[in-house]
A and B are shown apart, each in its own frame.
Chain A
C-alpha cells in the first residue's frame, strides 16, 4: 500500500516535469528549468560522497569540467553521438575517480577535502594555460550539437532549449535512481556506518575504502555525463567550468537543503536556482548581494537547523502523520 502511494507520487512528479516546458512561454523559462535540473543532478552526485560516506570532495567540479572537456575534445574525433559522448564522459570520469580515489582515500578526511580542492585548482590552471589543447581562456569552441536519428525522417540537430530539456530529463531520472538505490539499500547502511565511525565499520567487516570509492565513482560518473550534456548544450567549454564557485554553490545547496537526504538536496537545488529568478522579478539584485545573502542563509541554517531545511519538512510530515503513529504505539 505504502509502496503504491510512493510510486504514484513519483509518477506524478515525472509527469509534471514532462509537461512543465509546455507551460513555459519563453526560452528563458526553459533555460531556467534546465539550469535547475542540472543543479539537482550536480548536487545529488556531490551528496553521494559528501553526505553519505562523509568524504567531502571539494574538488567535485573537476569531474564536471573535465567531463565536458572530454566530450568537447575527444568525443568528436571518435565520431560519437549524443549518448555516446555522455557515456564516454561518464566512463572517463568514473575511471578518473577510481584512480584518484585509490590515492586520495589513503589520506585523512581533512586532507582529502583540501587535496581534492587542490586538484580542482590545478585542473583550472591547466585548462587556462594549455592553450594548444583547451584554447585557454578562449575556450574550446564549436562542440557538435546532438543529432537525433528519428525513424522515417532524416537526422535532426537539436537546437531548441525545450528539446535539450527532454534530453536532460532521463539523466535526472538516472541520477535519482542511482542515488536512491545506493542510499536506500543495505549499501546505504554501510555508507552511514563508514561516515559515522570508520574504525567501528572495519570491526564489523565493512571495508570503508570500498564504499567510499563506490560513492565517489558513482558521483563522478553522473556528473561527468552532466558535463558532457553541458558541453553539447552550450557548445563551448571554458576553464570556468572548473571554478571553485561551483564547489561553494554545491555546499550551499547541500548543507542548506540537508546533507545526506535526497529530498533535502533536491529542495536545496530548486531553491538555489529559482530564488534569484524570483527575486529578479521584484527587484534587480546584483550578484554580490545575491552571494552575500546565500552566505548568510548558509550560516543561519547551519546554526539553527543542523539537518538543513529538510528537517523542517520532516517535522511537518511527522505532525501530519502524528495521529497515526500515536494510534500505533510500539507494542514491544
Chain B
C-alpha cells in the first residue's frame, strides 16, 4: 500500500480512538446534564481520579492483578467517588440554579486537582499495560492493541447504555426525567434518586475511560481540565442533553483533531477544536443535532 494511504488510515484510526475516548467522557457528562440539568466541570477530574487509581493498582507491591480486573476496580472506585460527591456536594443544592451548581462542580474540580497535586506531585505518572506496547499490523497499518480495546469498549458501552435506557426500570426513569422533569415529579418518580444513580454511572464511565486511555498517555493532576471542556463542547454541539448527538459530536471532534494535527499543525490542534466549537455555536445556536425549543 502506498505510504500516504497508510498514514491517512492511521490518522483516521487515531481520530476514531480519540473520538471514542471523547465519546466515553461525553456520554457521562451528557447523561448528567440530561437528567439533572447539571454542568459538571469536575467530570474530567473524576477521570483523573480514575487515572491515579489505575496507577496505584498497577503498582501494588507484591501482587499483579490482571488488567480486566483492574479496569473493573477503577470503574467501581470512580463510581463510588462520584456517589460521594453527589451525596455531599450536589444533592443538597439540587434545587438551586444551574449557575450555583456549576460553580460548585468547579469547586470540586479545584479540590480534586490540588489534592492530587499534594498526594502525587505534578510529575506525570506512566501507567503502561501489557496491551499498550502490543502492536498488530494489518497490511502495513500498525495499531496498538490498547486503541482497539478502546474502540470496541466504547461501541459496546454505547449499545449497552441504549439497552439500559430502553429496558430497565431505572433506565426508563432516567430517560423520562431528562425529557420532562416536572411531569416526573408529579407522577412520583424519585428524581433525586435517579440523579444520584446517573451521577454514579457517569463517574464510572469516566473511570472506564481513564482505565482504558491512560496507558496511552500519562497521569497528571491536570489531565482532566481541558478534557472536561472538550467534552462539554461535544455535549453542546450534540444539542444539550441529547446523548446520541453528543456521542457523535465527540467522534467528530476526535477525527477533526487527529486529522488536523496530523496534516496541518500539532500546536494549533486545540485551537481548531475549540474554534470549530465556537463557530458552530454561532451558526447553529441549538447545536448540530439539537432542535430549537420554544418557550
Contacts and interface: CB of A to CB of B under 8 A. Distances in A.
Direct A–B contact in the complex, CB atoms closer than 8 angstroms: yes
Interface of A: 50, 54, 56, 103-104, 106-111, 113-115, 117-119, 121-122, 125-126, 129, 199, 244, 248, 251-252, 255, 286, 288-289, 291-292, 294-296, 298-299, 302-303, 306
A129 B110 contact: no
A118 B229 CA distance: 7
Contacts of B271: 122, 125-126, 129
B229 A299 contact: no
21 contacts: A54-B99, A56-B99, A103-B282, A106-B282, A109-B98, A118-B274, A118-B277, A126-B271, A129-B268, A199-B295, A252-B107, A291-B113, A295-B108, A298-B106, A298-B110, A299-B89, A299-B107, A302-B93, A302-B100, A303-B93, A306-B100
Interface in B118-170: 118
B102 A119 contact: no
B49 to A, nearest CB: 15
A129 B267 contact: yes
B278 A115 contact: yes
Contact of A108 (B93, B102, B232, B285): B285
Nearest to B277: A118
Contacts of A289: 114, 118
Contacts of A110: 39, 98, 236, 240
Interface residues of B, number: 42
B100 A122 contact: no
Nearest to B282: A103
B107 A111 contact: no
B291 to A, nearest CB: 13
A298 B107 contact: yes
B100 to A, nearest CB: 6
B107 A291 contact: no
B117 interface: yes
B268 A125 contact: yes
Contacts of B110: 248, 252, 291-292, 294-295, 298
B275 interface: yes
B225 A244 contact: yes
A120 to B, nearest CB: 9
Contacts of A251: 103, 106
Interface string B78-113: 000000000001001100101110111011111101
B274 A122 contact: yes
A1 B117 CA distance: 55
Given A111-B236, A118-B278, A302 B104 contact: yes
A111 B96 contact: no
A301 B213 CA distance: 36
Given A288-B117, A295-B108, A298-B110, A117 B282 contact: no
A104 B106 CA distance: 22
Nearest to A302: B104
Contacts of B287: 111
Interface string B220-251: 00000110010011001000100000000000
Given A292-B115, A303-B89, A303-B93, A119 B278 contact: yes
B104 to A, nearest CB: 5
A306 B226 CA distance: 29
Contact of B281 (A111, A298, A303): A111
B229 A117 contact: yes
Given A114-B39, A121-B270, 10 more contacts: A110-B240, A113-B39, A122-B271, A199-B295, A288-B114, A292-B114, A295-B109, A302-B93, A302-B107, A303-B104
